[in-house]
Amino acid sequence: MARVELQDLRKSYAALEVLHGINVTIEDGEFLALVGPSGCGKSTLLRTIAGLESISAGEIRVDGRAINDLAPRDRDIAMVFQNYALYPHMTVAANMGFALKLAGMPAAEIDKRVTSAAAILDLERYLARKPVALSGGQRQRVAMGRAIVRAPKVFLFDEPLSNLDAKLRVSMRAEIRDLQKRLQTTTVYVTHDQVEAMTMADKIVVLNGGKVEQVGHPLELYRKPANLFVATFIGSPQ
Ligand code: ADP
Ligand code: MG
């Protein structure tokens, strides 16, 4: 079943069109990696799904329902940013529960969700700390915790590992993938790192200059790249 459908999605900044008609279907529970070179429109596409940018034309549907006109908080979608965007003056627990508090959830329910997310992410011992007292990997997990507590229909990740060192990046890949398998939450994961995409994704969308070059299973892209751009980007044998 399709959870997210992007239909002829277009986005312009003033006279500059940066997304030229994107058609992508994301199945329920799927881990989709959106890859492409810097400046090709990955973040813009993710922000339009989150509702942080308006679209110029086309449609975004979640569970068959058009969400183009819904505010971000009404979309049931949680985004994890590259720089984590944690609140420095709040504890880990307060960071993780903040969106729920804003939504008016009772404190006892927030506590329950934060505790459960902290257990999943191995953050139980850090709940009373401020972000400044955490390592990079721990901050990344807090950012994921903020998304998990909302139990959204869709996770959006925008290059979440790019601020981590190479070794941690590799272990966090596995951690995010395991977490997604466990929660079965439909995920769109943006990266410019083709190895990350190849090792993590059920399906890859290759974006180039605001257009989709190819959509497919990682092995399919590797074995049968649609064109030279995909072959070069994925590193297929030629
Ligand atoms: P990526 O995430 O793939 O690196 P972006 O989505 O950030 O690419 O950017 C796609 C294109 O849109 C780039 O040419 C960028 O300069 C342009 N762009 C992104 N955000 C804005 C904005 N707020 N105003 C004008 N142009 C923008
Ligand atoms: Mg980007």
Ligand 1, atom 13, lies closest to the CA of 39
What are the beta bridge partners of residue 77? Answer: 154
pLDDT digits (tens, 9 = 90+) for 172-214: 899 999 999 999 999 999 999 999 999 999 999 999 999 999 9
pLDDT of residue 238: 59
Average pLDDT, the chain: 94
Q: What is the pTM of this model?
A: 0.94
Tell the residue number behind the tokens 């190895």, with chain if given.
Answer: 195
User: Which token pair is 105?
Assistant: 């959830």
pLDDT digits (tens, 9 = 90+) for 205-226: 999 999 999 999 999 999 999 9
Atom from ligand 1 closest to the CA of residue 192: 3
Residue ranges around ligand 1 (CB below 6 Å): 13, 18, 36, 38-44
46-50, 74-78, 161-165: range with lowest mean pLDDT = 161-165
38 Cα: distance to centroid of ligand 2 (angstroms): 7
